[in-house]
Chains A and B, each alone.
Chain A
């Protein structure tokens, strides 16, 4: 959960909510609700970027942090939503997530099929 992650990052830096909010220019009352999971995480990519930088999150960790915000808002991360290839793969992920696990062979087949959909046909 984004809310737990951000609180734990803040506590790791030994910052009070007030000091943290002052440094990243947020309102403590609203942010307290985000950390307690009452308000949804921010959707503003600029703010999420700023927070990730503040906590020195880079690469995969930064992406995971931004994804956690989207998932807690019950949204598909923006870069996934914008990516046609990933969009096509999503039904399979959803299916797996609901317990209808695909076998390794089926997953391999799915990956091949997706690749074919985005590869020019041989003449």
Chain B
């Protein structure tokens, strides 16, 4: 996954909106204004296809559930967080897989499905890469680590061997999540992936 992390560092250096101090990362303004991709509101997208967003085949726009897009700040926080993560996931395809996909020049959907199945030698690698990209982009490793470094001495005082406590880890994830505009499951994954606090 090093190539993904390197890509993210390159992007952070290039775009102010992605700087580690600017959390929650505004992926909405980033994809529309900095990348110039078209947002394409799609009626009942989530209800019909069970996804919040998807990049277009020509990588010039992102389909979004029309209602969620329009009312994103008026709905529940978890929905906005999920949409933010999904956009970041789609941006991973834009940055990591666009060249590969365009070079393949798929003539049909089955061809595309076959490529996805074989990419990286395992079925879900492209999607796993996209999730890793999204998590790392939205939750900068250095910020999460410094939050943990502040938290750890206090936790140690309360519970010896606190690192073994699953509920405390969940509590920390719940506490950190709003700072990054993600759901706490994303923090739990980052704690593990960034080798900060692995699940016991």
Binding site for B on A (CB under 8 A): 11, 14-18, 21, 28-29, 32, 35-36
Give the complex CA separation of A11 and B32 in angstroms.
Answer: 8
Using A11-B36, A15-B33, A17-B32 as known contacts, list a sample of 15 further A-B pairs with CB atoms less than 8 Å apart, ordered by residue number in A. A14-B33, A16-B28, A16-B32, A16-B39, A17-B38, A17-B39, A18-B39, A18-B69, A28-B69, A29-B43, A29-B66, A32-B38, A32-B40, A35-B38, A36-B40
Give chain A residues whose Cβ lies under 8 Å from the Cβ of B72: 18
CB of B33 within 8 A of CB of A11, answer yes
Q: Give, as a whole number of angstroms, the nearest-CB distance from B130 to chain A.
A: 22
B: interface residue count bin: 10 to 19
Give chain B residues whose Cβ lies under 8 Å from the Cβ of A16: 28-29, 32-33, 39
Binding site for A on B (CB under 8 A): 28-29, 32-33, 36, 38-41, 43, 61, 66, 69-70, 72
Give chain A residues whose Cβ lies under 8 Å from the Cβ of B70: 18, 21, 28-29
Q: Give, as a whole number of angstroms, the nearest-CB distance from B165 to chain A.
A: 41
Give chain A residues whose Cβ lies under 8 Å from the Cβ of B28: 16, 18
Give chain A residues whose Cβ lies under 8 Å from the Cβ of B33: 11, 14-16
Look across to chain B and name the residue whose beta carbon is closest to the beta carbon of A12.
Answer: B33
CB of B39 within 8 A of CB of A14, answer no
5 tightest A-B contacts by CB? Answer: A29-B41, A16-B32, A17-B39, A14-B33, A29-B66
CB of A32 within 8 A of CB of B36, answer no
Q: List 24 A-B contacts (CB under 8 A).
A: A11-B33, A14-B33, A15-B33, A16-B28, A16-B29, A16-B32, A16-B33, A16-B39, A17-B39, A18-B28, A18-B69, A18-B70, A18-B72, A21-B70, A28-B39, A28-B70, A29-B41, A29-B43, A29-B66, A32-B38, A32-B39, A35-B38, A36-B38, A36-B40
